[in-house]
Amino acid sequence: MRLLSFVLFLAGTSGTFLGQNPTSDAAKDSLYIYQVEDRLSPDKVLHAEPLYIDLIRDLGARKGEKEWNLGLGLSDKRSADSYEALIEYEWAPVDRLGLEVELPFTFYAPSSESSPDSIPSSRLNGLKTAIQWSFMVNEAKATSMALGYINELMLSDFKSFGNPVFVGNIYNPFLIAAKRWGRNFHSLIYTGPSFEQNFRNASWHWTYEMHSSFHYMIPGTRNFIGVEWNKSYEPGDFDLVIRPQMRLGLAENLLVGIVAGVPVWSENQGLSAFVRLIWEPGHKKIPH
């Protein structure tokens, strides 16, 4: 797979993945935590953010923070190979409130077991807007919690686009709880129901999502390695995909996230790969 080869290339050639000066790693960790948590107000706790199911904005976001994301993914499914692409912009208009706008695309190609006539039509999946409020930030206990809501107006596929334009809506409230253990270990839970409304036949479908993650931030860097467990429940079905991942710093304001997907319980999901490019305009360099 070309995308997987690109992932391995990035992982193998990045010279910044491991700390280059172990004697100053602890000092750099303390300085980075200070830079994030104590240099500005209000309080904020440094947490590692999952790369596949990412947050709307940092927990405890401060006014003026912003970020662009570009994502590219490949999933090997039994019915058809799917290629993901997304562009999203997230920002904090006031302290502890994050907003996001995302355009997610899905493109399909025949798999070895399918014919071109049987694959779904490619599409701009919808217009996603989201809000996230960090209602608890406890710096002493390195713990944060947030409530949020994602709304996705689903669009018709490219073959029938405009007839109609909108085919449904997804309503997704969620809760996030995160804790940092010491300087380098991070855990997070992201959970909530998702309700899908079909405008054509007035039907409803629901799922419940429970995503958990654990990360280790490499001493002296902004890089981390970790894993997500993406779980979804619906009547008569349970899916689990494990996603090992890493984040690499390419520049002070440019990061790349690399994710692999390994299905454990899933009827139509094969191996997958995902790359997220993260640009933080206005990010201040942390002195070393």
Give the model confidence (pLDDT) of 174-199 as tens digits: 999 999 999 999 999 999 999 999 99
* Separation between Cα atoms, residue 143 and residue 287, nearest integer Å: 25
pLDDT of residue 58: 94
In which region does residue 124 sit, left (phi positive, over 0), alpha (psi from -120 to 50) or beta (all else)? Answer: beta
For residue 106, pLDDT over 70 is answered with yes
pLDDT of residue 57: 95
* Span 239-246, average pLDDT: 96
Residue 244 lies in a domain: yes
Residue 52 lies in a domain: yes
Residue 285 lies in a domain: no
pLDDT of residue 94: 97
Range of the domain at 119: 2-279
For residue 247, pLDDT over 80 is answered with yes
For residue 28, pLDDT over 60 is answered with no
* Span 248-270, average pLDDT: 89
For residue 31, pLDDT over 60 is answered with no
Model-level pTM? Answer: 0.85
Q: What's 125's domain CATH number? A: 2.40.160.40
* Separation between Cα atoms, residue 155 and residue 163, nearest integer Å: 10
Q: Is the dihedral of CA 119, 70, 220, 10 positive or negative?
A: positive
* Span 211-237, average pLDDT: 94
pLDDT of residue 20: 46
Residue 288 lies in a domain: no
Residue 27 lies in a domain: yes
* Separation between Cα atoms, residue 257 and residue 132, nearest integer Å: 22
* Span 138-148, average pLDDT: 96
Residue 165 lies in a domain: yes
Q: How many domains does the chain have?
A: 1
Residue 286 lies in a domain: no
* Separation between Cα atoms, residue 103 and residue 88, nearest integer Å: 6
Residue 135 lies in a domain: yes
Lookup: tokens for 56 = 């709307």
For residue 148, pLDDT over 90 is answered with yes
Could you report the per-residue pLDDT of 49-80, keeping only the tens digit for each? 999 999 999 999 999 999 999 999 998 776 67
